[in-house]
Amino acid sequence: GDSVTQMEGPVTLSEEAFLTINCTYTATGYPSLFWYVQYPGEGLQLLLKATKADDKGSNKGFEATYRKETTSFHLEKGSVQVSDSAVYFCAWVSGSARQLTFGSGTQLTVLP
Amino acid sequence: DAGVTQSPTHLIKTRGQHVTLRCSPISGHKSVSWYQQVLGQGPQFIFQYYEKEERGRGNFPDRFSARQFPNYSSELNVNALLLGDSALYLCASSFRTGGGQETQYFGPGTRLLVL
């Protein structure tokens, strides 16, 4: 069935390290893809999105490219900061369904 | 501009009770969605409303119901609460662009604890 598979955490990195969080999806049609971030005790914030194949979403130094051939949308950042510590969720929505389907989340901790 | 607002922020109930959660969307957004996030998991879709009509329903029992008002705000109701209903309840609002794209923006959530 339709789903999102995210890299399992937790992930612990030192400040300025390179970050990759893998995300692959199974969906019918041509979904839009999203990364949301959740800081402790808060709701979800939209981090970036891509709506068609080969689109690259970017925000706050984070990037992800919509790869239709591998059904992936991996999140990357070249140099993480302590303030990036949060839970990151990959999600998709299809034109017909309209509701978001989320992955299970990846906890990121960045140490100074 | 104000984001999505939800009330209350926290709530404690006992089994068998009823709860009503409220959500006000971003100004101009006509669609509201509700999600349940159990600790340690990703959010699960409950309902979506657009222009006061239910547009989608997730795999939740009939104890869960919702409605949307003429000002596009929304309520989520849960009857006969169970311990397993303890979760963060998230509301998201969205609007559809001319190209048919929708992006959902989330509120801070209501944390419900059922004892």
Quick: pLDDT tens for A13-57.
999 999 999 999 888 777 889 999 999 888 899 999 998 899 999
Of A32, A98, A104, the CB nearest to B48: A98
Instruction: Please state the three-class secondary structure of chain B as a single string.
Output: CCCCEEECCEEEECCCCCEEEEEECCCCCCEEEEEEECCCCCCEEEEEEECCEEEEECCCCCCEEEEECCCCCEEEEECCCCHHHCEEEEEEEECECCCCCECCEECCCEEEEEC
The model's pLDDT over B54-88, given as tens digits with 9 standing for 90+, comes to 988 999 999 999 999 999 999 999 999 999 999 99
Does B48 contact A at CB distance below 8 Å? yes
Distance in angstroms (rounded) separating the CA atoms of residues A93 and A29: 10
Nearest CA in chain B to A39: B108
Amino acid at B29: H
CA–centroid distance for B55 within its chain: 14
Predicted confidence band at A95 (pLDDT cuts at 50, 70, 90)?
A: low
- Residue A94, pLDDT score: 72
Of B40, B58, B90, the CB nearest to A99: B58
Does B58 contact A at CB distance below 8 Å? yes
